[in-house]
């Protein structure tokens, strides 16, 4: 029955393009965060932070457009709740990346624990994996591709936990400046939360696979 229903269901021309725009924008946000961390000057860092702020607003607009389509359309490409959860998770990832960049800007942080760059690079990988998985959603003919990506994202989230916990433990041993410790700890934990949200998005994708198997 699912095959018959899918045959007669019009190709999704509303939601999928918005999903793809949303996750491509997310990858840009993640890549720009690494530019913030690697900026040579305060002006460069400020410019890159402003770009993250702009992209985060772009993502908010796409999220709003998807929710608007949900309110207007009876037929959706998959479960309405899953759409809501997936888009919300993507929005949350962007929010945490922006929050980390904002903390760097507000606290005038100029040097970073090595794990902060490690987390930023890991977030880029996880966001690119989400992009690949979402590009596979229209036909679901290659469920193993999405399943493998979800497993990789889950593994990345565990790796992020280890990076964050290791860095914080070292800070409490070696960092004598309490204010600097608080700054670095907050950035680490905010980035770790971004990886948690990547894992949430992967969990939604797994749910979509199961429901459409």
Residue 118 to residue 166: CA distance in whole angstroms: 12
Mean pLDDT over 117-124 rounds to 98
Residue 28 to residue 39: CA distance in whole angstroms: 16
Note the pLDDT of residue 11: 56
At residue 39, the 3 state secondary structure works out as coil
At 21-49, the pLDDT tens digits run: 999 999 999 999 999 999 999 999 999 99
Residue linked to tokens 């794990």? 115
Residue 115 to residue 117: CA distance in whole angstroms: 5
Note the pLDDT of residue 205: 96
Note the pLDDT of residue 3: 45
At 77-115, the pLDDT tens digits run: 889 999 999 999 999 999 999 999 999 999 999 899 999
- Domains plus CATH for the chain? 2-211 (1.20.58.220)
Instruction: Select from 206, 67, 200, 74 the least CA-distant residue to 136.
Output: 206
How buried is 71 (Cβ within 10 angstroms: 0-12 exposed, 13-18 middle, 19+ buried)?
Answer: exposed
Contacts of 89 by beta carbon, 8 Å cutoff, 6+ apart: 197, 198, 200, 201, 204
Residue 58 to residue 21: CA distance in whole angstroms: 10
At 125-166, the pLDDT tens digits run: 999 999 999 999 987 778 899 999 999 999 999 999 999 999
State the DSSP H helix or E strand holding residue 128, giving kind and residue range, or none if neither. Answer: helix 114-135
At 44-74, the pLDDT tens digits run: 999 999 999 999 999 999 999 999 999 988 7
DSSP for 148-209, please give it: HHHHHHHHHHHHHHHHHHHHHHHHHHH---HHHHHHHHHHHHHHHHHHHHHHHHHHHHHHHH
pLDDT band at 1 (very low <50, low <70, confident <90, very high): very low
């Amino acid at each position: 029955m699912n095959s018959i229903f899918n045959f007669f269901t019009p190709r999704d021309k509303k939601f999928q393009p918005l999903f793809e725009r949303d996750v491509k924008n997310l990858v840009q946000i993640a890549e720009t965060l690494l530019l913030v961390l690697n900026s040579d000057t305060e002006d460069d860092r400020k410019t890159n932070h402003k770009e993250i702020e702009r992209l985060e607003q772009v993502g908010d607009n796409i999220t709003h457009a998807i929710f608007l389509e949900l309110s207007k359309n009876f037929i959706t490409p998959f479960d309405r709740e899953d759409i809501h959860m997936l888009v919300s998770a993507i929005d949350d990832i962007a929010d945490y990346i922006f929050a980390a960049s904002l903390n760097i800007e507000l606290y005038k942080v100029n040097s970073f624990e090595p794990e902060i760059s490690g987390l930023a690079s890991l977030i880029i990988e996880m966001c690119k994996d989400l992009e690949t998985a979402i590009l596979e959603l229209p036909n679901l003919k290659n469920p193993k591709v999405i399943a493998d990506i979800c497993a990789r994202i889950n593994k990345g989230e565990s790796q992020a936990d280890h990076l964050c916990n290791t860095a914080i433990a070292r800070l409490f041993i070696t960092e004598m400046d309490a204010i600097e410790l608080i700054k670095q700890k907050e950035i680490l934990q905010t980035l770790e939360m971004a990886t948690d949200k990547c894992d949430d998005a992967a969990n939604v994708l797994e749910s979509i696979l199961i429901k459409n198997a």
